[in-house]
Amino acid sequence: MTSVQGTAVDITTADGVADAYLAHPADGLPHPAVLLYQDAFGLRPHLKSMADRLAGAGYTVLVPNVFYRNGRTPVFDLPEFIDPSERPQIWEQVAPVMQSLTPDLAMRDAGTYLQWLADSPLTADGPVALAGYCMGARLALFTAGTYPDRVAAAAGFHGGRLATDAPDSPHLVAKDVTAELYFGHADQDGSMPPEQQQLLEETLTAAGVRHRCEVYPGAHHGYTQADTAAYDKEADERHWAALLDLLSRTFPAS
């Protein structure tokens, strides 16, 4: 595993300043870029550790606070171990903020994050990869369809509402996607039921998108997040294998 350097960075957007975490190999050389999209609980130590692990595998990883309009990190007052069943009031903090980040706002920001990565001396030339968790899986799919020339691969894990009948459902961008996609659905996830899984699969196939959608049996929404009650070690390890496989195929020289 490569030694890693992690730093806090600020990114000026059209609507303010997004604080972010940047992790990269400590050699100071340019490496393929990964834009990592947070789950609903936001940028916190566990997500930084995930970015560090990817950086140790040879990537330059940016994790923006996508909720920056609501304040700098930490946006929410969270316990070290997040169990919404014991503290349901967490959702009273999180839900309104999550809902305020519309696809239009998120994609305006995404263009800024992608440009920031393109301008960084720590990133290799060429398109980036995306990794998204929970709501971040939605953002990853939207970004792949909105900026197809900038995204070579995108992976989403325990994403919810990826293929609904809403006019702004993420699956509707499939026609514009040129990246290879991977989705790891949680088996026990009411926000991504079998009918949505099927619609996403059919839509990606019809659009000719290179993709693989897999169901992780027994896993719950949030299975990759070790600081939450939803964590599933076996599913998490499967997620790492799938993500690193996608990245190694996308950036074979890294």
Strand-pairing partners, residue 60, are: 33
Which residue among 52, 134, 232, 239 is the active-site one? 134
Q: How far is CA 221 from CA 56, 68, 96, 240, in A?
A: 26, 24, 19, 16
Catalytic annotation on 10? Answer: no
Which residue among 19, 52, 109, 189 is the active-site one? 189
The 10s digit of each residue's pLDDT in 136-145 is 999 999 999 9
- What's the rounded Cα separation, in Å, for the pair 63 and 58? 16
The 10s digit of each residue's pLDDT in 156-191 is 999 999 999 999 999 999 999 999 999 999 999 999
The 10s digit of each residue's pLDDT in 63-92 is 999 999 999 999 998 888 998 887 788 888
Which residue among 24, 46, 221, 239 is the active-site one? 221
Q: Which of 118, 77, 119 is nearest to 97 (CA)?
A: 77
Phi-psi category of residue 155: left, alpha or beta, with phi > 0 → left and psi -120 to 50 → alpha: beta
Distant-in-sequence, close-in-space partners of 104: CB < 8 Å, separation ≥ 6: none
- What's the rounded Cα separation, in Å, for the pair 183 and 157? 6
Q: Are 66 and 80 in contact (CB under 8 A)?
A: no
- What's the rounded Cα separation, in Å, for the pair 18 and 233? 31
The 10s digit of each residue's pLDDT in 43-69 is 999 999 999 999 999 999 999 999 999
Give the rounded distance of the alpha carbon of 141 from its chain centre.
9
Catalytic annotation on 213? Answer: no
Query: Which domains does the chain show, CATH number per domain?
Result: 4-250 (3.40.50.1820)
Catalytic annotation on 168? Answer: no
The 10s digit of each residue's pLDDT in 113-127 is 999 999 999 999 999
